[in-house]
Amino acid sequence: MEPTTHPISYWHFENGRWTYQQGEIIVETPVDLSVNGERWVTLMCTPTHLEALAVGFLFNEGIVESADEVAIVRVCENGCNIDVWLNKSVQKPSHWRRTSGCTGGITSQETPPLKIAQESGPLITLEAHQILHGLSLLYQAQDLYQSARGVHGSALGDGERLLIQVEDIGRHNTLDKIAGEMLLRGIHPERRILFTTGRISSEMLQKAARLGAQVLASRTSPTALSIRLAEQYGITLIGYARRSQFNIYTHPERIIGWQAEGLVTASTPFAHSE
């Protein structure tokens, strides 16, 4: 398997002084995905959790619905190809659409996704501190980011702990990896809170809906389209979650105490603090 970081040397400028330093830089790798013996697409990724990346990508594209449909997942020795064999015949998409992903994410789907998980039973509720605690746990678990920077992290939590945590140069890839880990490991909690360091685009929101997330929280911003989709899918969308603060853009009823006394209405619904 290819290493995830690469040693480098570089010149650093700070406070009027130059220093020559050594460090690590994140690896970006092209990995081919083959399905039932046919090459489908090349994924630009960080070479970790590759089996999960492949299965999760197929799940989020609506190609598979469960792990029972996957017969074999095999990564070649040099890590340049993931070979997936399914227990059914599938048609390769005729075209792939470039997304807003950091590494040029791709999808065969238009908005909305083919099938999304629906919340059943009583409304899932959380305390505000559980959102902040979950993101804090994600930051602490980002080993690649600590050593080399340059990667996104995402995690699936249940409000108490992180169940799955992954990193990748592509924020879309992190949610595909989570989807694959959920299927391959049989992780299906009742409460599904997704935490991520990346921007919430419409594609990220669709993947979260596909995973059945009730809450999606990011340290940065959503887009206008992702807010509309979150409202439609019933997802509590949270942005700019940092230290002791965050913004709720849709379905605040899941966060206990959101209707606090002395609520101040900003001039814009998307106002935030940097």
Residue 115 pLDDT more than 70? no
Q: What is the pTM of this model?
A: 0.88
Q: Which amino acid is it at 98?
A: R
pLDDT tens digits, residue range 5-42?
Answer: 899 999 999 999 999 999 999 989 999 999 999 999 99
**Euclidean distance between CA atoms 18 and 32, whole angstroms:** 41
What is the mean pLDDT of the segment spanning 222-249?
96
Token reading at 58: 């197929």
The class level of CATH for 29-107 reads alpha beta
Residue 106 pLDDT more than 80? no
Write down the CATH number for the domain with range 128-254: 3.40.140.10
% the chain with pLDDT above 90: 73
- Give Cα 95 to chain centroid, integer Å: 23
Sheet with 29-35, strands from edge to edge, namely: 38-45, 29-35, 81-86, 70-75
Q: What is the mean pLDDT of the chain?
A: 88
Residue 99 pLDDT more than 70? no
What is the mean pLDDT of the segment spanning 128-153?
91
What is the mean pLDDT of the segment spanning 56-80?
94
Lowest-confidence pick of 105-109, 207-211, 269-273: 269-273
Q: What is the pLDDT, as a whole number, of residue 258?
A: 86
H-only helix segments in 32-127: 50-60
Burial class (CB within 10 angstroms; exposed 0-12, middle 13-18, buried 19+) of 118: exposed
What is the mean pLDDT of the segment spanning 107-136?
74
What is the mean pLDDT of the segment spanning 191-214?
96
Residue 82 pLDDT more than 50? yes
Q: What is the pLDDT, as a whole number, of residue 121?
A: 60
Q: Residue 145: what are its φ and ψ, rounded to 5°?
A: -65, -40
What is the mean pLDDT of the segment spanning 126-137?
95
Residue 207 pLDDT more than 90? yes
Q: What is the pLDDT, as a whole number, of residue 110?
A: 54
Residue 104 pLDDT more than 80? no
Lowest-confidence pick of 1-5, 12-16, 90-94, 259-263: 259-263
What are the sequence ranges of the domains in the chain? Answer: 29-107, 128-254
**Euclidean distance between CA atoms 9 and 48, whole angstroms:** 24
Higher per-residue confidence, 3 vs 55: 55
Active site residues: 102
Residue 268 pLDDT more than 50? no
Confidence of residue 145 (pLDDT cuts 50, 70, 90): confident
